[in-house]
Amino acid sequence: MRVTMVGTGYVGLVSGACFSEFGHQVICVDKDASKVEALRRGEIPIYEPGLDKLVAENVAAGRLSFTTDLAASVEGAEAVFIAVGTPSRRGDGHADLTYVYAAAEEIAAALRGYAVVVTKSTVPVGTGAEVERRIRAVRPDFAFDVASNPEFLREGSAIEDFRRPDRVVVGTDSARARAVLRQLYRPLSLLDTPFVFTSRETSELIKYASNAFLATKITFINEMADLCEKVGADVQDVARGIGLDGRIGRKFLHAGPGFGGSCFPKDTLALVRTARDYEAPTRIVEAVVAVNDARKDAMADKVIAAVGGSVAGKTVAVLGVTFKPNTDDMRDAPSLAILPRLIAAGARIRAYDPEGMTAAAALIDGVDWVSDAYATLPGADVLVIITEWNEFRALDLARVRSALNSPIIVDLRNIYRPEEMSEAGFTYFSIGRPPVAAH
């Protein structure tokens, strides 16, 4: 089948490359000419494991190409995906749909035969109907359908998530559009992937409800972690103890410094706003947003408490600044709240992240960025782990201990076992577990 993917951001690029891998003929479109030029040279603008290879292979096979010419790319396409950004609108937290509607109108003008226009961007309920209205206004007599097909990709494992999704959700009332999408995802139906065919509005809401539920799960365990710290309980055992109940499930119960990233913060906020507009407030999700925001700030206080109440004049070694490992993405990363607070409290920060330092340096002033984990340590008064990159799990603890000025670790991701840290001579603070002193 012939597919056009409008937008070569995270979702567009991964989806486009994966559809071409399925055997379809895919053209990815972006307005940014320098980005398209770079993609044609095989340079991938984001860090996503395996994506460079996937793109290169499919470009070489003649199934994947890049262009700035939207009109030409739409010609002959059976499905045209809108995968442009929907950032939070400044001021009110609503999703900003300017790019979605602009793409819809350009697509409308370029349609030559029947096509399904599919919104893949995360869009509020009702956006599909508005996209249809806008296309209809440009092309009153033309046959087309507008479907919703939300994406559930996680950064860092996006390709695997696309190839083996838990489900595919398609929202449309049109049998013809349904047939096109079924055909597009045919390799997945061969794997027995469940398909949820539903209305457009329902499909749009499923995406927000999924992300809000996962964000709620994380926030729930984070609050339990705070309670564990007060009563001397262990949140990891709580997570395991409740998660083994199949109705609860074990995933997404890892306590930490609060969720970040490009989706959960933006989507929970947008859901709260939509629900308020329809006078059906989602009070649980409102609490999740507020608790998570406060948590990121509270993490700086945890570091300050660990060094005895003040970081003024002290050196803080920081490992990991991205919102999670295996990405260079800094969007809404907890470090963006934690580091400026520590700096404002008088700390000197020496930090390292395997992929995120370029993006982070543009967002946080006054940090001394160094080129590997051990270089953060000399003379530091505390070591803080903010992101759980694998390479931090295997540090040489004796080397860490001897480089630090005082052997204190604040581990906001629970990547070490407390007994092991005590044995290794550290005072060790983690999340939702009793702190331990050096053995």
Show binding-site residues for NAD(+): 30, 35, 86, 122, 155, 266, 331
Q: Which residues are annotated as a binding site for substrate?
A: 152-155, 207, 252-256, 260, 324
Q: Which is nearer to ligand UDX, 212 or 436 (CB)?
A: 212
Contact 353, 387 (CB under 8 A): yes
DSSP-derived 3-state class of residue 234: coil
Q: Which is nearer to ligand UDX, 155 or 381 (CB)?
A: 155
Query: Token pair of 188, please?
Result: 């997945």
Q: Which is nearer to ligand UDX, 66 or 81 (CB)?
A: 81
DSSP-derived 3-state class of residue 370: coil
Contact 372, 391 (CB under 8 A): no
- How far apart CA 37 and CA 352 sit, in angstroms, is 31
Q: Which is nearer to ligand UDX, 178 or 207 (CB)?
A: 207
Active site residue 18: no
Contact 147, 168 (CB under 8 A): no
- Residue 144 backbone phi and psi in degrees, to 5: -155, 165
- Residue 409 backbone phi and psi in degrees, to 5: -125, 135
Alpha carbon of 370 to those of 6, 333, 375: distances in Å? Answer: 38, 19, 6
- How far apart CA 112 and CA 292 sit, in angstroms, is 47
For the CB of residue 364, give the shortest distance to ligand UDX in the complex, in Å.
17
Q: Which is nearer to ligand UDX, 292 or 427 (CB)?
A: 292
- How far apart CA 429 and CA 409 sit, in angstroms, is 6
Q: Which is nearer to ligand UDX, 208 or 429 (CB)?
A: 208
Which residues touch 133 (CB under 8 Å, ≥6 apart)?
none
Write out the residues near ligand UDX by the rule CB under 6 A.
151-155, 211, 214, 218, 252-254, 256, 259-264, 323-324
Residue 246's CB is within 10 A of a number of other CB atoms, namely 7
Active-site position among 18, 28, 228, 263:
263
Q: Which residues are annotated as a binding site?
A: 30, 35, 86, 122, 152-155, 207, 252-256, 260, 266, 324, 331
Query: Half-sphere exposure of residue 227, counting CA atoms within 13 Å on the CB side?
Result: 9
Which of 156, 155, 88, 75 has its CA nearest to residue 115? 75
Contact 255, 224 (CB under 8 A): yes
Residue 200's CB is within 10 A of a number of other CB atoms, namely 25
Residues acting as catalytic residues = 263
